[in-house]
Amino acid sequence: MIYLSDTATLGGCVLTLGNFDGIHLGHRSLIAKTLELSGALSLPSVIWTFKEHPQNLLAGKSIKYVLCAEEKARIIEDSGIDFYYEADFAAFRNLPPLDFIKNELLGRFKVRRAVCGWNFSFGSGGDGSAAQLERLLSENDAGCTVLPPVMSDGKPISSTRLRALITGGDMEGAAKLLGRLYSFKLPVCEGRKMGRRLGSPTINQLFPLDRATPAYGVYAVYCEAQGRLYKGVANIGVRPTVGQNADAPVCETHIFNFSGDLYNQEVKVLLYKKLRDEKKFAGMDELSEQITKDCEAAKTALNSNSVTSGQF
């Protein structure tokens, strides 16, 4: 996959538009249709997205991201898309819908076929709709495919719905919308080494402030570290028993059957199931006993799960 900065060499493409935060099954359907049309028309495939969520640049909005920019791009690259373009929302927020189509899609990208979701909006004030995009492109000798919503439990799959499941700790629900386990990949930082003293050494990963943080609690997890997949148990929260700063949520993971140094390396943690809420214990002995119970509960949950490669 190539990150686009100069579109002059494209000479035509099949392009899909959207935020693509999370790359859930709805996004996957857009990508699949784009690849299908790209192959049929013998044209390169392009994803056109924004660097930042538009709502974060509008008054009074603050949308937490499901994926960091690097993870979003990696998943898209793995899908087989040819080109990836990140636009600056500020440059387009006041552009009328017709100008966006003529100047950007037809002028710069020379779009032959666009793909978007049923609820796609664009242009100044979000005045442009999917139906309008379809009509305006057809009037300019280009095509547009508008896809219906992908449903789960009778409701459309959306990033908003996915974000609510993650922050609510419903990992099974999030996995249904994603088609894979919810995960994050973050650098390992220095901790207090409290787990090591309690006989269960852990890795510590701080959540960026712009990311959707899973509900505080203990989770059965998988970890990708140094090219291998491990099982483990993670506590996400502020570690009230040892007095962690409440403004800095951390994922503290004990990786089963692993020994080694992971400091300053990036480790991918995949949340399979929430086991319990985070709680404060009376002392270190009680905490140690609970850690043992949590490890056993995580092993039981993970051993009962038939993992397939598609879940990762």
Assess whether pLDDT exceeds 60 at residue 199.
no
Nearest to 241 by CA among 298, 195, 196: 195
pLDDT for position 310: 52
Q: Which two tokens stand for residue 181?
A: 């386990």
pLDDT tens column, 1-48 = 566 565 656 789 999 998 899 999 999 999 999 999 999 999 999 999
Residue 235 pLDDT greater than 80, yes or no: yes
Q: How many CA atoms lie within 13 A of 87 on its CB side?
A: 22
DSSP 200: -
Retrieve residue 292's tokens. 């043992």
β-strands 111-117, 143-147 pairing:
parallel
Determine the residue type at 222: Y
**Among the ranges 9-23, 43-57, 279-293, which has the highest mean pLDDT value?**
9-23
Residues forming a β-bridge with 220: 233, 273
The β-bridge relationship of strands 121-122 and 128-129 is antiparallel
Confidence of residue 112 (pLDDT cuts 50, 70, 90): very high
Residue type at 226? Q
What's the chain's average pLDDT? 86
Q: How far apart (Å, rounded) are the C-alpha atoms in residues 4 and 27?
A: 20
- Assess whether pLDDT exceeds 60 at residue 239: yes
Mean pLDDT of 114-138: 86
Q: What is the pLDDT of residue 230?
A: 94
- The mean pLDDT of 203-225, rounded to a whole number, is 93
Is it the case that residue 96 has pLDDT exceeding 80? yes
Give the C-alpha distances (Å, rounded to integers) separating 269 from 154, 245, 252, 299: 30, 22, 10, 16
Write down all domains in the chain, each with its CATH number in brackets: 2-155 (3.40.50.620), 181-311 (2.40.30.30)
Q: What is the pLDDT of residue 249?
A: 87
Which sign, positive or negative, has the C-alpha torsion 216, 72, 122, 176? negative
Higher pLDDT, 197 or 102: 102
Lowest mean pLDDT among 21-30, 47-56, 91-100, 140-149: 47-56
Cβ neighbours of residue 281 under 8 Å, at least 6 residues apart?
241, 287, 290
pLDDT at 54: 64
Find the mean pLDDT for residues 50-77.
78
Reported as a pLDDT band with limits 50, 70 and 90, residue 159 is very high
**Surface-to-core class of residue 108, CB atoms within 10 Å of its CB (0-12 exposed, 13-18 middle, 19+ buried):** middle
